[in-house]
Amino acid sequence: MAVQSPSTAASPGGRPAARPLGRRRDGRPPGGGIRGREAAAGWLFTAPAVLMIVVFLVVPIIMAGWVSVSDWSGIGNPFGGGAHYVGAQNYSALLTQAGLPREQLVQSLTNNLYYVLLVVPLQTILALFLAVVLNRRRLAGRGFFRTAYYFPSVTSTVAISIVFLFMFSGSGVINTLLSDLGANGPTWFADPNGLIHLLLGALGVHTPPAALANHGLLGQSWWAWLSGPSIAMTVIIILSIWTTSGTFMLIFLAALQNVPAEIEEAAIMDGTNAWQRMRRITLPMLRPTLFLVLTLGLIGCWQVFDQVYIMSQGNPSGTTLTPAYLSYVTSFGNQQWGQGAAISFLLFAIILVLTLLQRFLLRDRDEVRTGGVRRLRFSGRAERS
């Protein structure tokens, strides 16, 4: 005869016996036991960080959102009756109404767009190249080179910007070297012409086509959109690439050291060369790291402020103006706090959309599974999953 446990034994009336007091249906003590205490301890330890995030991040975002749809003058508490709701008026002045606010916003977006298009790819390629070189086992002085390449990333942005100002001044080191080579250096921080316009001018194109001059977007002609970065913005681009590549180099280097050596050895036995291994093995395995680097680079480039504030303050003729710096000038300089906050939220929307687009483009598509067969593209063979 089978012996019934106390939890399953039937009562005299044929019904299952009641569970012992103090026990749950799954047999664990009430309150979650040790797991419940761990959860409570976890919340206790993270409470200070959560509180700081709420106070210094969530609350300011909510306040900025209210300011962007109000007429706050910067005096008093925006939630204390000193601001009145104006709807999308601040956004309309920036996007739909002809005037200086829209002109400045469009110009800042143009400048920042060229900044992103040049800085993000170049700093990523340079960081990956340095990481691949420094990941070689037989490279002498790897520690020295890693420190040397990373050093600009931990140096003060103010100090580096001032050094670049001296280097690219009219009588600076760069123009001196160019004069020694028989070339006349430009006035780096005084020439508002874009590089594309300068190149077209050197080729004899001085008048824009009617299709580009008479049509445009957001009140700016296509000819102005296609001006390219100014010479002053080019200096800031060079500075940014030099100072940020070291940080991304370390991220790539950590990811490369996690690539199993057995995979590369198998690829070498299959007769692949270095470029095939990089394209078919290393880059697909670095996809999450590549997405991280591109995302951080994209966010940092659209939020560029320090270099512009120190080196040019938007000059010459607004060709180094960026949305982040424009938001600062509009709020603290022109006392248009609603429009300044609206610029910040427009910038947030641009970053969010581009990040989601980047995530879609970098989604995992390397492994093709058909009927349980995984095709390895770098060798062209198939193996059963």
User: pLDDT (tens digit, 9 = 90+) per residue, 315-355?
Assistant: 888 999 999 999 999 999 999 999 999 999 999 999 999 99
**Residues of 86-104 as b/e, b for ≥16 C-beta within 10 angstroms?**
eeebbbebbbeeeeebbeb
In the chain, the percentage of residues whose pLDDT exceeds 90 is 41
Residue 370 in this model has a pLDDT that exceeds 60: no
Q: Across all residues in the chain, what is the average pLDDT? A: 83
In the chain, the percentage of residues whose pLDDT exceeds 70 is 85
- Which residue has 């959560």 as its token pair? 50
Residue 357 in this model has a pLDDT that exceeds 60: yes
Is the bond leading into 316 cis (omega within 30 degrees of zero)? yes
Residue 84 confidence (pLDDT): 87
Higher pLDDT: 265 or 177? It is 177
Closest CA to 248 of 84, 123, 339, 151: 123
Residue 1 in this model has a pLDDT that exceeds 70: no
Is residue 343 within 8 Å of 326, Cβ to Cβ?
yes
DSSP string, 33-76: HHHHHHHHHHHHHHHHHHHHHIIIIIHHHHHHHHHHTB---SSS
Per domain, the residue ranges of the chain are 115-192+229-364, 195-227
Residue 14 confidence (pLDDT): 53
Q: Which region holds residue 38: left if phi is over 0, alpha if psi is between -120 and 50, else beta?
A: alpha
Residue 382 confidence (pLDDT): 40
Q: Which of 55-69, 104-118, 188-202, 225-239 has the lowest mean pLDDT?
A: 188-202
Second CATH level (architecture) for the domain 115-192+229-364: Orthogonal Bundle (1.10)
pLDDT band at 28 (very low <50, low <70, confident <90, very high): low
Residue 313 in this model has a pLDDT that exceeds 70: yes
Residue 34 confidence (pLDDT): 63
| pLDDT tens string 38-69 | 888 888 999 999 999 999 999 999 999 999 99
Is residue 189 within 8 Å of 168, Cβ to Cβ?
yes
Higher pLDDT: 31 or 68? It is 68
Residue 378 in this model has a pLDDT that exceeds 50: no
For the ranges 167-171, 263-267, 293-297, the maximum mean pLDDT occurs at 293-297
Residue 376 confidence (pLDDT): 42
pTM for the full model? 0.81
Residue 365 confidence (pLDDT): 57
| pLDDT tens string 242-291 | 999 999 999 999 999 888 878 878 888 887 887 888 888 888 888 889 99
Report the distance separating Cα 37 and Cα 25, nearest Å: 19
Strand order in the sheet with 373-375: 368-370, 373-375, 382-384
Residue 90 confidence (pLDDT): 93
